[in-house]
Chains A and B, each alone.
Chain A
Amino acid sequence: MVDVKQTGNTPRIVVVYCRNAVSSAAELLEGPYTAKGYHAYFAALPCSSKIEPSYLLKIIADGADGLLVVACPEGHCRNLVGNVRAEKRINYARSLLNKAKMGAERLTLERGENLTEKDLLALAQSRLGPLKILGPNPMKGDGK
């Protein structure tokens, strides 16, 4: 289970990524990671299609300021259409976040292949700007 229940003003970003999008030579990032200006939590999945709207919403309800799903490029899914399904689920979850007035931008999808640890960290870093505009997650410290 992704632990995002820490409080404080430092942005917390959860990165859930397809392990097939990462270069086989790269070391898989797993668990908490502290970088300059943000805390991250990395979790690898066997395929991005493993995500469910319920998991995504729970991560944000538990206080993550941002949630980034990293999938393989369209047409390059090892499981045929897993990353297309992932995108549909993300879009659905984003629509629900909007209805809850949480801001759909808290949840985003990026695509890539042969990614390195450095690439994943750069993707996480790229979320800081949009998240700063949204402000802190109002659920911070409320996670149960």
Chain B
Amino acid sequence: MIIAEWKPLPELVEILKGHTNVLVAGCATCVAECAAGGEREVETLAPLLKMALKNEGCTINVLTRTVERQCEWEFVEELAEMTPKVDAIVSLACGIGIQAVAERFPDLAVYPGVNTTALAIRQEPGLWIARCAACGDCVLGETFGFCPVARCAKSLSNGPCGGTRKEGKCEIDENIDCVWFQIYERAKARGKVEQLLKVRKPRNWSNSGHGGPKRVVREDLRP
């Protein structure tokens, strides 16, 4: 899932000063799963914003609405019935949803309520860990199902580096597993360590963030 975290409250308070009617819009998909922008978080942030702004001398009316997905136009449309009543929207969706809302309602101020941070898995309750960097050149087949781009602090294609701790932890944080240690352990368990001796060539980054915004076209799906 895409994960996000609330922006610091003082930052939100600062951008909302001067507004009187605000819609806090949630997204019931990824950001709900990571407890940043679903209905619960929307209904938590709404009273919090009212109180924080009141303490800054600003009284605002906060409306709330959570749609199934802010990255699908059909669901974004559900916000349309509320937009005549507000002068700003705080979207708690990921950066994709925020941009969709801003594109659908160009006359309104649309602010991000969260910082979108990673593609992650919920490892255990209350703990999310990045798993994918959307790099456009997946090597998971060669690395025994562990992504060195997202999970190695240096994104090494040919690891490990010299900083792995004795316990198989990363040198930057003792709570983070060294992914190349994990790759080695799984290769060993499968009896295929020799596959790791192959030197992986420089990655092809042109299929993701390089060369402008990524576009995927499927003519068979187009109108």
- A residues apposed to B, CB below 8 Å: 52-54, 57-58, 60-62, 96-97, 99-102, 138-139, 142, 144
Among B44, B52, B54, point to the contact of A54 (Cβ < 8 A). B44
B217 vs chain A, min Cβ distance (A): 42
Q: A61-B48, A138-B55 are in contact. List 11 more A-B contacts (CB 8 A).
A: A52-B40, A53-B44, A54-B40, A54-B43, A54-B47, A57-B48, A61-B47, A61-B51, A96-B9, A99-B9, A101-B51
B58 vs chain A, min Cβ distance (A): 11
Residues facing A in B38-54 (CB within 8 A) are: 40, 43-44, 46-48, 50-52, 54
Size category of the binding interface on chain B: 10 to 19
Q: Are A139 and B50 in contact (CB under 8 A)?
A: yes
Q: Are A57 and B44 in contact (CB under 8 A)?
A: yes
Q: Are B55 and A100 in contact (CB under 8 A)?
A: yes
Q: Are B54 and A58 in contact (CB under 8 A)?
A: no
Q: Are A57 and B51 in contact (CB under 8 A)?
A: yes
Q: Are B52 and A101 in contact (CB under 8 A)?
A: yes
A142 vs chain B, min Cβ distance (A): 6
Q: Are B48 and A142 in contact (CB under 8 A)?
A: no
B11 vs chain A, min Cβ distance (A): 11
- A-B contact list, 23 entries, CB within 8 Å: A52-B40, A53-B40, A54-B43, A54-B47, A57-B44, A60-B47, A96-B9, A96-B44, A96-B48, A99-B10, A99-B52, A100-B9, A100-B48, A100-B51, A100-B52, A101-B51, A101-B55, A102-B51, A102-B55, A138-B55, A139-B50, A142-B50, A142-B54
Q: Does B59 contact A (CB under 8 A)?
A: yes
Q: Which residues of B contact A144 (CB under 8 A)?
A: 61
B171 vs chain A, min Cβ distance (A): 31
Q: Which residues of A contact B50 (CB under 8 A)?
A: 61, 139, 142
Bound Cα distance A57, B54 (Å): 14
B127 vs chain A, min Cβ distance (A): 14
For B45-84 the 0/1 string (1 means CB < 8 A from A) is: 0111011101100010100000000000000000000000
Chain A residue at minimal CB-CB distance from B126: A88
A5 vs chain B, min Cβ distance (A): 13
Chain A residue at minimal CB-CB distance from B13: A100
Bound Cα distance A138, B48 (Å): 13
Chain A residue at minimal CB-CB distance from B64: A54
Q: Which residues of A contact B47 (CB under 8 A)?
A: 54, 57-58, 60-62
Bound Cα distance A144, B54 (Å): 13
Q: Which residues of B contact A60 (CB under 8 A)?
A: 47, 51
